[in-house]
A and B are shown apart, each in its own frame.
Chain A
Amino acid sequence: MRNKWFLMSFILILSMFVLAACGGDDQEEATESNEEETTQTEESNEETSEENASEETGGEVNLYTGRHYDTDQELYDKFEEETGIKVNVIEGKDDELIARLDREGEASEADLLITADAGRLHRAKSQELLQPIESDVLSENIPEKFRDEDNNWFGLTKRARVIAYHKERVNEEDIQTYMDLTKDEFQDKVLIRSSSNIYNQSLVASMIATEGEEAAKEWAQGIVDNMAREPQGGDRDQAKAVAAGEGDVAVMNTYYMGKMLNSEDEEEVKVAEQLGIMFPNQDTTGTHVNISGVGVTASSQNTENAKKFIEFLSNEEAQKQFAEANYEYPVNPNVEPSELLQSWGEFKEQDIRLNELGENNDRAIQIMNEVGWK
């Protein structure tokens, strides 16, 4: 008897999968007929979300985020406290979250996508995964430069990709631009991570935008020629290599410097203290600045809640916490950056549309492959 029961449960489980398999075969037909249905469900959903809003819970908002800071959760809790809107979160790798959104398509339950790098946000936009949001609050809180021109995405924090140099071995005057890294005197002295890293891709993409493809390729070639070692590790590893004497200059994002200076590991602090940071291209095109930002998904069913959420993150109070969690600069001009960042001084930012980082991304990767940037 027991055996029979055992087998029966087997069959039950498996039949579910067989059913699943059949469903997969009919996929195309199903999606076609589904399109009509979704338009219907959208209407009915609007009604339900209105109902939800009138209830005391205030509804929900579903968030895909590439940020992983514990203090973010405090902000979400606070948002829930203020508005009654519950924030459901899936954390993941930025690129995979975008790919997931793409696969889920119209049916996706995500309302918001938070991700680092404008190149990625642009990719999400060009895959039609985001939708425009009109909000006076956002227009006021976020400078035009850090918003998508069609309001598909909004920057929340900004970071600069700067040059860190060894204070004793390098004279700050010798290194004023990104181009200076390719000078002969830095032969075998430059530390930078792999070309698979989006920060480097966006840096090259920004050069394509400001100086053209050829100049960008020339620069990439110069970097490869001057590398102290094959690219490896993360931004912190580049800084450590400078301290260790493997090279003299490293390209890194500002917030890694902040993290190292505030590390629990006193050895990391010592490393960071040996380094000076400089904002390149101050007399020319400006330092490469990138953002982490947010967009409302095209499939969102809680658009109003999502909008409220972005507005909440752009307000002065939240901006401070959101940016400081990762030693970044707030985008809201009314909010002062942390003391550490202020001590580095103000600097001239690269003046390009951030969408160009995304538009030039493919070309940037190709260039880096062509010059043999691992």
Chain B
Amino acid sequence: MSRLNLLRKLPGYMNIWSILSLAIVILILIPNMTILFNFFTQKAENWNHIQEYILPDLLKNTGLLIVFTGILTIIIGTSLAWIVSAYEFPMKKFFKWGLILPLAIPPYIAGYTYNGILNYTGVIQTTLRNNWDIKVDQVYFNILNLPGAVFIFTLFLFPYVYTITRAFLANQSASLIENARLLGRSPVDIFFRVVLPISRGAIVGGVSLVLLEVLNDYGVVQYFGVPTFSTAIFQTWFGMNDLNSAIKLSATLMFIVFAILTLEKVLRGRKKYASTTAKARPLHPTRLIGWKAWGAFGYCLFIFLLGFLIPFVQLIDWMLLTFEKIASPEFTTLIWNSLLVSFVGALLIVLFAVIIANFSRMHQSALSKSAAKVTILGYSIPGAVIAVGISTVFIGIDSGLSRFYESTGLESRLFLSTSLVILISAYIIRFLAIGYNSIESGFDKIGNKYTEASRMLGMNMTRTFFKVDLKMIKAPLISGFLLAFIEIIKELPLTLILRPFNFGTLSTNAFKYASDEQIHEAALASIIIVVISAIAVFVFHQVLEKESN
């Protein structure tokens, strides 16, 4: 009895979870803080010039990209999620996971590939020209512009909306939708009056990931000639050698990100959708017949072709073209390196995400709330900017540890900053949000009552976590791991800037060729990335399926 009182008197945030969460928050904040600190202390020489000539364009382009990509991913992602979870039609089993596959193709590789298909020397125009002597107006085939960038982002990022919404619909919506059906509502009516309102939270969650990816992208917008914040940050920092203006731009970008995130919170509303059981009854799909079935099939097939099969086949074609020139035993090392960093990175991300998610769920304190918010920080900042922050910090640590290095006889003066530690830390900062989102939604779904029951029955928070909570969120854990894994294996800017000597991955290899406009030569590494990611997507889907059955 007295022991219980003592425990009650202890502030709620004083336990192992809060300490660990705090540590993670510090890890993420410090590199970002070094950037922000400069924002207030340094004078930027070109800032006036940038404000006058560059900023208006950036705001316009970034705004257009966000709005159109947002709307289109919502339309495609939600409609596919609805069709796939509410109906039976030919090949539906395959489309369920086939429609996640576009995630396996990094958008910048997709951008290069689509331009390669559509441009003057691409397969479409050359076929027309060489067989029928048809010359087309380039305007209709030009993808290197803002609408083209929206096209690429939409096709290769919509799975975020699709996956999250589908998981929600399949598991959470059964009673509402079936009641609406019983009451005689038409399918269209159900979609707009029931599906959209109840899955608002899931849609907004998915689309905010999409928008953050768009803001973060450098490869696509740079190649497509659409000036955005990330291209401007690179140009002022590297081109004008004006880090401080670049930081001011990053800070402006961060402001936009926070605006989006606040909007997300507002749009999600205060409602909490905790189901009455951990395994809610799945939605029972209706069988479509006749033209309706083929219509659904055609729509799914169309998106699947555009978002995966067409670029994939083109990449294979290019790979065959250059295979003999490019393939070497070195590729085994590249594959191993890619797998290693992705595996370790994703594992740590899941560990950290679980700690923060569990802490923030059990304690509604200022610290726990900010911990949850901080995870998203890294996801929203361009990789190159994170790289600066983190390497500044690590070089600082290295110089602090130089005495220690000497005493142990290490020759290197930059032991940490030239090791994989810095790269993996950067991945964690960058992609923690991916793991966190998945795990948070897992916790959301089970709610707090099982945990509370277990605590009532006398288990402490840590034991409850291992005996009760962890078992109930196994599926979100695995899917968080897989999503982070896919992101890391596709990741380019951080890997490029922070990698150690003689260390290459598949994505740095693809970049090495693509950056010199040798897109054909980049195909082999790209294909391997796509295949590995596709396998991860498949496993990811299996986990979700098992979860809902």
Listed in ascending order, the chain A residues whose CB lies under 8 Å from chain B are 3, 6-7, 10-11, 13-15, 17-18, 20-21, 23-24, 26-27, 30-31, 34, 37-38, 41, 48, 62, 68, 70, 88-93, 95-96, 98-100, 103-105, 107-109, 123, 127, 193-194, 196, 198, 201, 229-237, 240-241, 243-246, 256, 259, 263-265, 267-268, 270-271, 361-362, 365-366, 369-370, 372, 374
B414 adjacent to chain A (CB < 8 Å): yes
Residue contact A21 to B517, C-beta cutoff 8 Å: no
A-B contact count (CB 8 A): 200
A99 to B392: give the CA distance in the assembly, Å. Answer: 11
Q: Which of B54, B57, B398 contacts A107 (CB 8 A)?
A: B398
Residue contact A105 to B401, C-beta cutoff 8 Å: no
Known: A10-B351, A14-B24, A96-B497. A196 touches B414 (CB 8 A): no
Q: Which of B120, B145, B351, B463 contacts A230 (CB 8 A)?
A: B145
A123 to B513: give the CA distance in the assembly, Å. Answer: 25
* Interchain nearest-CB distance for B229 vs A (Å): 13
Interface of B is mostly: helix
A95 to B388: give the CA distance in the assembly, Å. Answer: 13
Q: Which of A231, A234, A243 contacts B517 (CB 8 A)?
A: A234
B67 adjacent to chain A (CB < 8 Å): no
Residue contact A245 to B384, C-beta cutoff 8 Å: no
Residue contact B138 to A246, C-beta cutoff 8 Å: yes
B87 adjacent to chain A (CB < 8 Å): no
Q: Which of A26, A99, A107, A264 contacts B238 (CB 8 A)?
A: A99
Residues of A within 8 A of B403 (CB): 37
Residue contact A100 to B138, C-beta cutoff 8 Å: no
**Which 7 residue pairs are nearest across A and B when measured between Cβ atoms?**
A95-B238, A232-B225, A27-B396, A267-B121, A23-B397, A232-B144, A244-B120
Residues of A within 8 A of B46 (CB): 362, 366
A12 to B30: give the CA distance in the assembly, Å. Answer: 19
- A127, closest chain B residue (CB): B241
Interface residues on B, range: 35 or more
B235 adjacent to chain A (CB < 8 Å): yes
Residue contact A230 to B239, C-beta cutoff 8 Å: no
18 further contact pairs, Cβ within 8 A, besides A123-B241, A194-B225: A14-B24, A21-B26, A23-B396, A23-B401, A24-B393, A68-B516, A90-B503, A100-B391, A103-B388, A105-B395, A196-B231, A232-B225, A235-B517, A237-B119, A241-B138, A243-B120, A361-B239, A374-B227
Residue contact A14 to B502, C-beta cutoff 8 Å: no
Q: Which of A24, A93, A230, A256 contacts B396 (CB 8 A)?
A: A24
Q: Which of A41, A194, A259 contacts B413 (CB 8 A)?
A: A41
Residue contact B520 to A233, C-beta cutoff 8 Å: no
* Interchain nearest-CB distance for A253 vs B (Å): 11
Q: Which of A264, A362, A366 contacts B322 (CB 8 A)?
A: A264
Residues of A within 8 A of B241 (CB): 123, 127, 362
B501 adjacent to chain A (CB < 8 Å): yes
A-B contact pairs, 15 of them (CB 8 A): A20-B397, A24-B393, A68-B516, A98-B238, A103-B388, A103-B391, A104-B417, A196-B227, A196-B239, A233-B115, A233-B144, A264-B520, A267-B122, A369-B49, A370-B53
